[in-house]
Amino acid sequence: MKSTKSFPVIKTALLSYGMSGKVFHAPFIHFHPGFELTAVWERSKKTATEDYPTIQVVHQLEEILNNEEIELVVVNTPTATHFEYAQKALLAGKHVIVEKAFTTTEKEAEILIELAEKKERILSVYQNRRWDSDFQTVQKIVNQQSLGSIHTATIRFERFKELLSAKVHKEKPGAGAGLLMDLGPHIIDQALVLFGMPNSVEAHIRTLRTHSLVDDDFLIHLLYNNLRVTLISSLLVPYSVDAYLIHGSKGSFIKQRGDIQESALLKQEQPFTDNWGLEPEEYAGRLITLQNGIEQDVCIASLPGNYGLYYENIYSAIRLNEPLKVSGTDGKKVMKIIEAAKQSHAEKRQISINH
């Protein structure tokens, strides 16, 4: 962690304190010495002060936007509100982190990116699962070129949630609802980090749960010159299989989803500790390669996961002018893929991607 002694803390506000604020943002802001969790916008409940007694709870967004001491605003409200609130925060001169999905359209993403550049503020998307232990390990194997020329890859993110969510915004049809806009941004972003933008997209989107009014199952093919990447997600999978299957000319890498950070955060364990994000050994991946006609099958210990590195980069970008690891442009690319997937499903054809 970089030294913060020479700089004032970055006073930060959350725009909600549901699971996202309580679990995925507040602990990393609170325990990082370069940040101060200053304010939370809570509409009805007042639960933030139970965890952080000194925090300021506000009832209107303007109380945050008009507070000149607050430098960073985290837009972690329902997806349909992201564009409006991020735009207002940027216009108020704040640095902004937006939860996934970044926006509801590529055009909205473009507007926010241009506004952030005009205001000379950082604009980032909270793609924390780039720092999952499983993805960190997969990325290492791909970057080492251990598999030769990769021709086929599958990334899955599946859950079993047969009952509809109590969160109305997740189940009510609208621009920000549905699984494609919920878990989709995570695995789309991971695919783009590994392989870049595809040439075309083919998608199949379904609604499987009883009484569901939004999509809850999808399969997306990202098509490259000599590579096919398949992204699969569903809320109706009682038994999950391996989350990552990467196949190349010299071998394969197989890895289950094993990151423990979400469960640790739900137990209110403290991040930025020595053993943070360490997977159990039984979650190790398998690297199977052929060398001189001899098959080698070895276990690959997982790298530790650490969502704190996302906030460490945000600090460095604001205070030290270092490049963002997850930019608004990254969010725009994800939105381009999501829009192409929706079009592909509707028109039952592949959609070309203009780079």
d(CA 24, CA 313): 16
Q: What is the largest distance, in Å, between two alpha-carbon atoms of the chain?
A: 67
pLDDT digits (tens, 9 = 90+) for 263-276: 999 999 999 999 99
pLDDT at position 2 is: 67
pLDDT at position 3 is: 61
pLDDT at position 290 is: 85
Q: What is the DSSP string of 6-45?
A: TS--EEEEES--SHIIIIIIHHHHHHSTTEEEEEEE-SS-
Task: State in Å, rounded, how far the first CA of the chain is from the last one.
Answer: 36
Residue in the structure block whose two tokens are 């990552």: 244
- Global pTM value: 0.96
Pair 78, 19: CB distance under 8 Å? no
Residues of the chain with pLDDT under 70: 1-3, 5
d(CA 277, CA 261): 6
pLDDT digits (tens, 9 = 90+) for 297-321: 999 999 999 999 999 999 999 999 9
pLDDT digits (tens, 9 = 90+) for 187-229: 999 999 999 999 999 999 999 999 999 999 999 999 999 999 9
**How many CB atoms are located within 10 Å of the residue 38 CB?**
22
